[in-house]
Amino acid sequence: MDVIFFDLDGTLLNKNSELSTYTIDTLHMLRDKNIAHTVATGRTMLSAQRVLGNHSFDLPHIYSNGVTVWDPRDNGLTLENLLNQNEVSYIVDYAQSIGITPFVNTVSSDSANHEHFVYHSPPKHQAEKDLINKYFAKSELIQRPLSLLSEDQAVTNISMIGDTQTIGEVDDYVSRYDSLVAYSGYAIEGDHLSWIDIHHRLANKGSAVQALSDQLGGSNIICFGDSYNDASMFKLAHESYAPQNAKEEIKKLASSVIGHHHEDGVAQFLRERFNL
């Protein structure tokens, strides 16, 4: 049984962070042929559902690089490899010491709505203010002061945005803590801003993909991805495909390189691969 896992940004989504009509039609074709498929993304559940819009995936979704798995069939939420209090303090204290605002992401597994919270101190830089005003304030994300973060909160990840040099310093600092892993990249291509997303090292797409495939009875794991956080699932997949825009390291791990993400590369490949 084939089980397909899609990364979103730079892979299934176009450069506008949208599912094109061609891609949506292709996903409907997969569903009509009963070919199992779902998403495996670094985005939080709330962020991913915003860009997916009205399109739904029937099988469990993998969010936050494997920390969160949500099953739309029964609204069940599984949280694994959360950040503990020592790890949170290690990250937050350092960020504040160098004048950057850490955004601590948590999710409630107890309520039916699975509310998402972000705890942060007052922003210090324009990029942080823009993130709050242009994204947080317009989403269902609930903002709370960092001072209210308690030890019993389920912290999925901590993110930051800032000038590339400062984010590089954060990355170096995080790499010294054995249980942490960070992913980073440019916030705006050609700009001097970068982002960083910090997780527990055991949280990765690969382990979540393997667990879900086993649960579904999969025998052939097929993965699509473009960046470093996709490496863990590429290494265990039976088939792995990277779009032309993917990082070189990911292209080297891939079974094959396919079309560009903004040219419906994944959807075109799927139609050929499965005779859709």
Same domain for 109 and 20: no
Structural domain boundaries, residue 132: 85-200
Check residues 118 and 135 and name the one with the higher pLDDT: 118
- For range 127-149, the mean pLDDT: 91
Banded pLDDT at 139 (limits 50, 70, 90): confident
107: CATH: 3.30.1240.10
Q: What is the CATH number of the domain that holds 44?
A: 3.40.50.1000
Question: How confident is residue 187, by pLDDT bands cut at 50, 70 and 90?
Answer: confident
Q: Please say which residue of 180, 200, 220 terminates a domain.
A: 200
Of the three residues 165, 200, 235, the one that is the final residue of a domain is 200
Same domain, 190 and 113: yes
Mean pLDDT of 188-200: 85
Q: Among the residues of the chain, which ranges form H helices?
A: 21-32, 45-52, 85-97, 126-134, 164-174, 205-216, 231-236, 248-253, 265-273
Are 22 and 58 found together in one domain?
yes
User: Where does residue 191 fall: left (phi above 0), alpha (psi -120 to 50 degrees), or beta otherwise?
Assistant: beta
Residue 96 and residue 196 in one domain:
yes
Last residue of a domain, one of 149, 183, 200: 200
DSSP strand pairing (2-6 vs 220-224): parallel
- Domain check: are 210 and 246 in the same one? yes
**Rounded-to-integer distance, Cα 100 and Cα 91, Å:** 11
Give the integer Cα–Cα distance in Å for 41 and 177: 24
Whether 132 shows a pLDDT value over 60: the answer reads: yes
- pLDDT tier, 218 (very low <50, low <70, confident <90, very high otherwise): very high
Least confident of 31-45, 130-144, 217-231: 130-144
pLDDT of residue 190: 59
Q: Is the pLDDT of residue 189 over 60?
A: no
**Within this chain, do residues 192 and 214 fall inside the same structural domain, yes or no?**
no
Assess whether 98 and 172 both reside in one domain: yes
For the chain, how many structural domains are there in total?
A: 2
Choose the weakest-confidence range: 46-55, 149-158, 195-204.
Answer: 46-55
Torsion angle in degrees (nearest 10) through CA of 168, 174, 176, 181 = -110
Mean pLDDT score of the chain, rounded to an integer?
94
Question: What is residue 148's DSSP assignment?
Answer: G
Same domain, 70 and 107: no
For residue 243, the cross-strand partners are: 258
Residues 209 and 187 in one domain: no
Domain identity same for 187 and 220:
no
Give the three-state DSSP class for 150.
coil
| Same-domain status, 75 and 207 | yes
Taking residues 101-119, what's their average pLDDT?
Answer: 90
Q: Are residues 50 and 92 in the same domain?
A: no
